[in-house]
Amino acid sequence: MRKQLLILLASVLVLLFVLKAGGMLPEIHIKREAAVKETDESMPLINNAQINTTPILQMPELPTGCESVALTMALNSYGFDLDKTAIASDWLIHNDENYVLGYAGDPFSENGAGIFPPGLCDTANDFLKSKGYPHKAYDVTGMEIEDLLEYIADGIPVVVWTTIDYSDPKYSDSEISYNGRTYRWYSNEHCVMLGGFDQGASSVTIYDPMQGKTTVDMEVFRDNYNKIGKYALIIV
C-alpha cells in the first residue's frame, strides 16, 4: 500500500508542476529537513526528518476540536494558510449518531466528542476537492509506527489519534463497526499531527493542539498509538 501511495505522490507532484507552470495553481510547499540515509530498508531511509508547520492551539475557540486543528496543521504544512477555525466551521462533517463517519457533537463546545479517521478523511477530501488541488487524504489505520515515520521522511504529514498526555485510553461502552474494523470510543480521545522523528534520540516531533510543538519519547508514542488501535491518516 505504501509503494502505491508513493507512486501516487510522484504522479501528483508531476501534475502540480504542470499546473503551476501553466499558472493554474498557487504555489504550495513540502518543507523537509533530513539527515544521513540508512542502509537497512526495514527502517526509515533517514535518521531524522522534520515537516515544518506553524503550531496551532485549539483553545479557547475549539475546546473539543483537536481533530480539526490537527488536520489544519497538516494542510498548512503544504502551504495552505488556514486559520484555526476554518475546517471546524466550514468543512467538518458532522454525524451525532456515528463518530466514525462524522464529528459527534460540537467542537466549539466543551461537550463535544470527536471524529475518527474515516470521517476526517472525508472532511479533508471535501476541502481539497473544493479548492481544486490534486492532493488526497488516505486512512492508513493499522500501519506500524515505522511505516508512519517513512511517510514523514518523504515529507508527508501524518494525523494520528492519541490520548491526552499519552495516558491509557479510557474506553466507554460505545463501539461502532465500519468496513471490517471495530472502533471503540474513549473519553480521553485526542488527535495530533506527527511532524518529525529523531532515531538517535528515539523521539518524535508532535504538533499537539493542546500543547503546541513538543518532543515525545518514541516508545511512549508507539505504546499509546498501538493501544488505541493505530488510527492515522495521511495527505499526499
Percent of the chain that is helix, strand, coil (3-state, to 5) = 30, 25, 45
Residue 143 has pLDDT above 80, yes or no: yes
pLDDT score recorded for residue 23: 39
User: How confident is the model over 113-131, as pLDDT tens digits?
Assistant: 999 999 999 999 999 999 9
Residue 158 backbone zone (phi > 0: left; psi -120 to 50: alpha; other: beta): beta
Say how far apart CA 48 and CA 17 lie, in whole Å: 27
Closest by alpha carbon to 58, among 198, 192, 226? 192
> 3-class DSSP state for residue 37?
strand
User: How confident is the model over 33-43, as pLDDT tens digits?
Assistant: 332 233 344 54
Neighbours of 192 (CB within 10 A): 26
- Domains of the chain, with CATH numbers? 30-235 (3.90.70.10)
Bond before 26 cis per omega within 30 degrees: no
Residue 30 has pLDDT above 60, yes or no: no
With pLDDT > 70 as the criterion, what percentage of the chain qualifies?
81
Phi and psi angles of residue 213, each rounded to the nearest 5 degrees, phi first:
-80, 120
Residue 230 backbone zone (phi > 0: left; psi -120 to 50: alpha; other: beta): left
Strands 203-208 and 232-235: unpaired
* 210 CB-near residues (< 8 Å, 6+ apart): 57, 58, 59, 66, 164, 190
Neighbours of 188 (CB within 10 A): 14
Q: Residue 32: beta bridge partners? A: 51
User: How confident is the model over 35-68, as pLDDT tens digits?
Assistant: 223 334 454 459 999 999 999 999 999 999 999 9
Contact between 225 and 145 (Cβ < 8 Å): yes
Strands 212-217 and 232-235: unpaired
